[in-house]
Structure 1
Amino acid sequence: MQADKPQPARRKRKTFDWPTAVLIAIVVSAAAYVFWRDGAARFFDVIWSDADLFVWMLPNVLAGCLIAALVTILLPRDTVSRWVGRDSGLKGILISAGAGIIVPGGPFTIYPIAAAFLGMGADVAAVVTLITSWTTIGMSRALVWELPFLGFDFVLWRWLAALPLAILAGLIVRAIERYWRAGAKP
């Protein structure tokens, strides 16, 4: 039996940080501006509309997080790290591009899965490739919308044009990471 390898260190996250503070400041400023410009009636109309959107989105986000949690249970960390980790090379980027093509669902699914992969030791470049491939190629969108309306030729040409973009995005991120890591060493 293979000896257990040490798990990749998880990045510690703060509960509250500067990007969150900036986002809250922008939201509060925008809300105050709407209240000042359009009055209380419009302000509360916007608040209720946003609350409706939140109530509609919450089950979708929870389902996406549940799927991501199941992915972390089904896929061993060392396998994810080996296939799409920092040392996976071009193979990891190609695997991520292929996975991005076949992952179904919308943003409520892909972003929690991408976060789960990062937490399991996947390389940032591989996750960027996954999301770019899902965004630009996405088989579920092609099968449901593009193929019936635009035909096979269109889908084939779009895929041939878009696949290099996803791979290129991953390679660019990997090169930038390598540059930063090399610059950080004395």
Structure 2
Amino acid sequence: MRFELTTLCYMICAALLFIIAYTKVGQKEAVYGVKSSLALFFQILPLIIAAMIMGGLIQVIVPKELIEQFLGTGSGIRGIVTGGVAGSVMPGPPYASLPIVASLLRSGAGIGPMVALVTAWALWRINLIPLEIAFISPKFMVIRFFATFIFPVIAGLIAQLIIMRFITYP
């Protein structure tokens, strides 16, 4: 198990927030905050486990050559567009979607297509469309979609250019 700097920073922040809560609102409320966060953790834990398993299984089920062909660095604009389309239909929160992206990267997907995928996921998640229509309006949803339509492709192309010109990525 790898212990990363990010994990350490989060743990330090959590400890500091607990100390602040303890001094501002008292032990009972600080402990309640920890208990409610643990309840949320156990609520989302099955989704995280399922996403991790899916990510691992993608690596062994989908042939690396297929991922490289459709989403690899050499797939060009087609791979970037494919990544964007995949991101637009990928449901779920980051802790469910990002393990799949990590798995695709380990299996040969290129940075450009994966940046397009994550950008499209963030902008157009298919499960947001009915919510936008219900809470805001169909007109807003259509305008927002067309206003952001090209961004995943642009982001993927920029990422690909950065990798090709400036960075050696494993």
In the superposition, the TM-score normalised over structure 1's length comes to 0.77
Aligned to 2:60: 73
> Paired residue for 1:163, among 145, 149, 168?
149
CA distance in 2, matches of 1:155, 1:30: 38
CA RMSD between the two structures: 2.4
Paired residues of 1:80 and 1:121 also in contact (CA < 8 A): yes
Aligned to 1:136: 123
1:46-82 residue CA offsets vs partner (Å, 9 max, x unmatched): 1111111111111121222233233333311121122
CA distance in 2, matches of 1:181, 1:132: 20
Change (3 A) 1:27 1:80: same
Query: Which aligned pairs between 1:87-106 and structure 2 lie closer than 5 A?
Result: 87-106=74-93
Identity %, equivalent residues: 24
Moved over 6 A (4+): none
Change (3 A) 1:129 1:47: same
Aligned to 2:162: 176
Change (3 A) 1:146 1:26: closer
CA distance in 2, matches of 1:84, 1:129: 10
Task: Give the C-alpha shift of residue 163 in structure 1.
Answer: 1.9
Task: Give the C-alpha shift of residue 162 in structure 1.
Answer: 1.6
Matched, 1:51 2:38: yes
Equivalent pairs, count? 168
Task: Give the C-alpha shift of residue 114 in structure 1.
Answer: 1.0
What letter is aligned with 1:76? Answer: P
Change (3 A) 1:36 1:176: same
What letter is aligned with 1:164? Answer: I
Provide structure 1 residue ranges, at least 5 long, that are not aligned to the other structure.
1-13
Aligned to 1:5: none
Aligned to 1:115: 102
Matched, 1:42 2:16: no
Aligned to 1:7: none
CA distance in 2, matches of 1:132, 1:53: 27
CA distance in 1, matches of 2:46, 2:72: 31
1:144-179 residue CA offsets vs partner (Å, 9 max, x unmatched): 33456633x554433222221111111222222233
Paired residues of 1:97 and 1:167 also in contact (CA < 8 A): yes
Change (3 A) 1:148 1:29: closer
